[in-house]
């Protein structure tokens, strides 16, 4: 997520994240980063202005039927994953805690039928519980520190409709010991929380990018019973 950014931007992310965590507001720095970017996506480390390639790969593989189905994109950033699902016919809701990011999505995609909303993963609207046929969680849990991880995972799982699908894209760490971050990769015991929430693991794919073979990235598909 942060590996390709210039040193200066990396330092800024570290500083903003550290300050936010020290003030017990672990998500507060995202709005600062988006606002400071002033519309320049190169100042948003994770923004590639394209759907995440592991999501695109999954969509090609599974060819999910979008018509008549709902989808939710968590921490949607600049909106590319949401737009990709919209193009497949899903009725898409996409949310982010950053008002600037949501305004940016609406500017980029003025004719979009995606319902772009400002919302907090850690304080969700109750009407989203058990609602969405497909939920995309890409790299948001790992952007939150370990002390809110359990709550974040519970929130992610809670929005999947019965018989629905959850797709998680995240870094993985072999050790249970707390990692340094951000990002803070997920451990096996943290991932096990999804199955305790009634989400059955269907497929797990590990990706190792040639430039960073030390970073394990996972794409896990879950189905809710």
Ligand X SMILES: C[S@@+](CC[C@H](N)C(=O)[O-])C[C@H]1O[C@@H](n2cnc3c(N)ncnc32)[C@H](O)[C@@H]1O
Footprint on this chain of ligand X (rule: CB under 6 A): 1, 27, 30, 46, 52, 75, 77, 96-98, 101, 120-122, 138-140, 143
Tokens of 193: 């929380």
Closest contact distance (angstroms) between CB of 52 and ligand X is 5
Neighbouring residues of 60: CB distance < 8 A, sequence distance ≥ 6: none
Give all strands of the β-sheet with 212-224 in edge-to-edge order: 115-118, 91-96, 70-73, 132-138, 160-172, 212-224, 199-209
Nearest by Cα to 12 from 2, 1, 27: 2
Instruction: Closer to ligand X by CB, 97 or 153: give it.
Output: 97
Instruction: Closer to ligand X by CB, 59 or 121: give it.
Output: 121
Instruction: Closer to ligand X by CB, 12 or 139: give it.
Output: 139
Closest contact distance (angstroms) between CB of 202 and ligand X is 21
Q: Please, is 107 exposed, middle or buried when counting C-beta atoms within 10 Å of its C-beta (0-12, 13-18, 19+)?
A: exposed
On whether the CB atoms of residues 133 and 165 are closer than 8 A, the answer is yes
Closest contact distance (angstroms) between CB of 140 and ligand X is 4
Closest contact distance (angstroms) between CB of 215 and ligand X is 14
Instruction: Closer to ligand X by CB, 156 or 199: give it.
Output: 156
């Amino acid at each position: 997520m942060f590996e390709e950014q210039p040193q200066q931007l990396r330092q800024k992310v570290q500083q903003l994240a550290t300050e936010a965590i020290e003030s017990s507001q672990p998500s507060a720095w995202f709005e600062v980063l988006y606002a400071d970017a002033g519309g320049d996506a190169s100042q948003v480390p994770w923004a590639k202005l394209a759907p995440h390639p592991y999501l695109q790969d999954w969509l090609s593989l599974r060819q999910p039927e979008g018509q008549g189905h709902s989808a939710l994109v968590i921490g949607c950033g600049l909106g590319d994953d949401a737009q990709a699902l919209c193009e497949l016919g899903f009725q898409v809701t996409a949310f982010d805690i950053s008002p600037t990011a949501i305004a940016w999505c609406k500017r980029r995609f003025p004719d979009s039928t995606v319902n772009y909303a400002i919302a907090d993963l850690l304080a969700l609207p109750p009407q989203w519980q058990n609602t969405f046929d497909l939920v995309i969680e890409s790299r948001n849990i790992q952007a939150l520190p370990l002390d809110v991880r359990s709550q974040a995972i519970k929130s992610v799982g809670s929005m999947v409709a019965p018989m629905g699908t959850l797709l998680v894209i995240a870094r993985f760490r072999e050790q249970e010991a707390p990692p340094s971050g951000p990002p803070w990769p997920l451990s096996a015991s943290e991932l096990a929380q999804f199955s305790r929430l009634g989400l059955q693991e269907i497929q797990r794919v590990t990706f190792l990018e040639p430039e960073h073979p030390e970073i394990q990235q996972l794409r896990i598909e879950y189905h809710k019973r």
